[in-house]
Amino acid sequence: MISIGSLKPKMETTAIAIAGDWSSCFETRRSSVCHPPLTSTRWRWRRQRQKQKQKQSCSCQFRIPQEFAWPSPDDDIPFWKKPFPSWDVNLEPPSQVIKDSKLMHLVHVTAEMAPIAKVGGLADVVTGLARASLLRGHTVHVMLPFYECIQKHQINDLTLVATYNSFHHGNWIPTNAYTGIVSGIPVILIDPSHHFFKGHHVYGGSYNELEAYLFFSRACLEWMQATGTQPDIIHVHEWQTGALPLLYWDMYHYLSLKKPRVVLTIHNMEHYGECRQEQLSMCGLDGSLYANFEKAIDDRTVGHNPERLSLLKGGIVYSNAVVTVSPTYLKETLCSGWLSSTLIRNRDKYFGIVNGIDTAMWDPSTDVFLPSKFHAQNPEGKKLCKYYVQRGLGLASGDHVPDTALKVPLVVCITRLVAQKGLHLITHAIKQVEELGGQMVILGKAPDSRVESEFEGLAKLHNQGPSIRILLMYSEELSHLLYAAADFILVPSMYEPCGLAQMIGMRYGAVPVVRKTGGLADTVFDMDDEPNHDMANGFVFEGIDEGSLNGALGRAFACYRNKGGDEWNGIVKKVMEIDNGWNNAAGKYIEIYESVRA
């Protein structure tokens, strides 16, 4: 048991259970020095009332360890930076995962991979899809640059396995290849001897990024040729590896690599990989041969001086199959944007598959970052997580009775602070949540200095107040804690190819509030849509204006406050039980691999 002296002065408190109404789950014995003893009648009346409240609200009991300590914003070390137990993701296949009968060798070529080189959702998708394919019985490797900033302590069995030369700009560059294991997934790290991929961050180094990824694309193929590796599928991701399909079909397929077929996944059509012809020529191709409408010319630059290429367009044209990350985003990209004509011409090989989430990495029943584990059949630990975060961020003080803090709806927004994510709606949500009597936590980084400055101003304005916290950073540990604490997860994107936050949020019992676009439209269905009541799992708005967001937040808060404990817990249980894992999505990718393999 734990004594929580900070909750009430001069009160000895013994935690006996924690559930919907925390105040009913604490048995108190007041000191007779400070308070006269209760008469037997008053004592029996109070005891009966306490038992009745416990019966109504404490449907599930669990105990707080004796050594448990509540965090405080005054702590020397923030609660999300304190030591956590090591977390070895279990690769044992769940009982419902069936091994595929036709097994393949799959190689992902990518700029990011969670958790060792993560900037955004691309890293999570690569790791999740690779693990899901492994669990289905396939041989999988992930190839990525050996960034100077890579999280080496999260790579097991790191070993130098090959040294070879790879071409760049007229020279053959000595290059090392390392192997290792990351979260159970075999990785191959490409480490050139010159300045590429040096720096403190995955992106934004002092080198030319486009030229570095052109080198990396060829170096991966050169490694396959040097080692005699012939995978069934080379799966490339985003513009950074968009040159690999060109290099494969116009160079390495004529040398020794005959077996592989190439699949490209486009995670965000906003980034095209704009490239000068002479830059493409640095990797050994003749850039001028690709400067036409059918291959890789950037349609927006036709008639300009100079005309430019797009690595993403070239990847679309040269890949055997192209996938984007949701059916709705596929439709949107066919109808708008300068690449739509290229996608329409390649419509027969263009597919939309909603991403999954890595349910081994995102699992509230085993998550080492959480002060209390929980799951759909027993979600009560979520309340402890919420109060823990409220205490740690100063949104609840030691003088609060816990259920008072828990009754306040908590909205969480975990995002990159870029225009795509609906910055004007995020800033408006701060005001609206405050007016509605809720609390809001924003966690994210702004790559644009002007956006960063704006949010720094908002943080100074709000972070000492009682309801808003703006944390301009990214922390994997804190993101897990916030998902577990949240009542609502806000995703007000202007466009969203897929989105992971809404699915992770649901996994942790947070009800999504989203704008209807892209993958958000494929995964979140409105609570007030009666014809689709069985699918209802969130609150959806369509407009890009503040009024549309106000309507969704207002409905969400009204639902939270009016439904009552059991009914709201039923909603939390429902969203937690939705299967957004990678197995189903991986099965669809496997079907595409099968359709194009040699």
Domains of the chain: 11-57 (no CATH), 105-358+585-596 (3.40.50.2000), 381-580 (3.40.50.2000)
In the sheet where 488-491 sits, what is the strand order? 468-471, 439-443, 410-414, 488-491, 511-515, 539-541
Q: For 509-565, write each residue's pLDDT tens digit.
A: 999 999 999 999 999 999 999 888 899 999 999 999 999 999 999 999 999 999 878
Find the helix or strand (DSSP H, E) in which 351 lies. strand 350-352
What is the pLDDT, as a whole number, of residue 484?
98
Predicted local distance difference test score (pLDDT) of residue 93: 55
Cβ atoms of residues 339 and 315 within 8 Å: no
- What is the percentage of the chain residues whose pLDDT exceeds 90? 79
**pLDDT value of residue 92:** 56
Do 54 and 25 touch, CB atoms closer than 8 A?
yes
Instruction: Supply the pLDDT for residue 408.
Output: 96
Reduce the secondary structure of 384-400 to three states and give it as a string: HHHHHHHHHCCCCCCCC
> How much of the chain exceeds pLDDT 70, in percent?
87
The answer, yes or no, to whether residue 80 has pLDDT greater than 90, is yes
Q: pTM, whole model, 2 decimals?
A: 0.86
Q: Has residue 11 got a pLDDT over 50?
A: no
Q: Shortest CA distance to 124 belongs to which of 136, 140, 142, 137?
A: 142
For residue 54, the model assigns a pLDDT of 44
Mean pLDDT across the stretch 439-466? 97
| Residue 494: Cβ-neighbour burial (10 angstroms; 0-12, 13-18, 19+) | middle
Q: In a 10 Å sphere around its CB, with 0-12 CB exposed, 13-18 middle and 19+ buried, how is residue 199 labelled? A: middle
Q: Which residues pair with 181 in a beta bridge?
A: 156, 186
The whole-number average pLDDT for the span 475-503 is 97
Q: Determine the pLDDT at residue 90.
A: 55
User: Could you tell me the pLDDT band of residue 206, with boundaries at 50, 70 and 90?
Assistant: confident
Q: Where are the alpha helices (DSSP H) in 228-358?
A: 244-250, 277-281, 311-318, 327-335, 340-345
Residue 9 confidence (pLDDT) above 70: no
Average pLDDT, the chain: 89
Per-residue pLDDT tens for 393-420? Answer: 999 987 666 778 889 999 999 999 999 9
Distance CA 296, CA 233 (A): 22
The pLDDT confidence band at residue 149, using thresholds 50, 70 and 90, is very high
Question: For position 276, what pLDDT does the model report?
Answer: 96
More confident position, 5 or 588: 588
Q: Which residues pair with 177 in a beta bridge?
A: 162, 190
**Residue listed under structure tokens 């291959």:** 295
Parallel/antiparallel/unpaired status of strands 233-237 and 261-266: parallel
Least confident stretch, 23-32, 86-95, 141-150: 23-32
- Bridge partner list, 28: 13
Q: Report the DSSP pairing between strands 468-471 and 511-515.
A: unpaired
Q: Which of 109, 112, 177, 118 is nearest to 141 (CA)?
A: 109
Residue 430 vs residue 48, higher pLDDT: 430
